[in-house]
């Protein structure tokens, strides 16, 4: 690492199904909205470690991740 701060990147995570409020609370820094039969979590992540952390949390909760988009 060169010590320079990085700009957070915006990500969208498409999850199969609708998630409840308790599950949404596992991602306090992300916005959640339903889109058709799925849920989209959107938020800014500072680095790849945070990205993989979200993916790991989705897996721990048993949620099916359909797509990730970087905006």
Domain span at residue 19 reads: 9-70
Whole-Å CA distances, 33 to 23, 39, 62, 67, 71: 13, 6, 18, 15, 17
Q: Are 53 and 60 in contact (CB under 8 A)?
A: no
Task: Tell me, yes or no, whether 47 lies in a domain.
Answer: yes
Weakest-pLDDT range from 2-6, 19-23, 28-32, 50-54: 2-6
Residue 35 sits in a domain whose CATH number is: 3.30.70
Q: How high is the pLDDT of residue 5? A: 56
Question: Number of folded domains in the chain?
Answer: 1
24/33 Cα distance (integer angstroms): 10
Does residue 13 lie within any of the structural domains?
yes
The pLDDT value given to residue 6: 74
pLDDT class of 16 with cuts at 50, 70, 90: very high
pTM, entire model:
0.88
Is the pLDDT at 2 greater than 60, yes or no? no
């Amino acid at each position: 690492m060169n010590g320079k701060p990085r700009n957070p990147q915006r990500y969208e995570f498409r999850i199969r199904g609708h998630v409840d409020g308790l599950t949404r609370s596992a991602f306090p820094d992300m916005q959640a909205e339903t889109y058709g039969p799925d849920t989209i979590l959107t938020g800014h992540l500072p680095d790849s470690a945070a990205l993989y952390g979200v993916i790991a949390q989705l897996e721990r909760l048993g949620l099916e991740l359909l797509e990730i988009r970087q905006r």
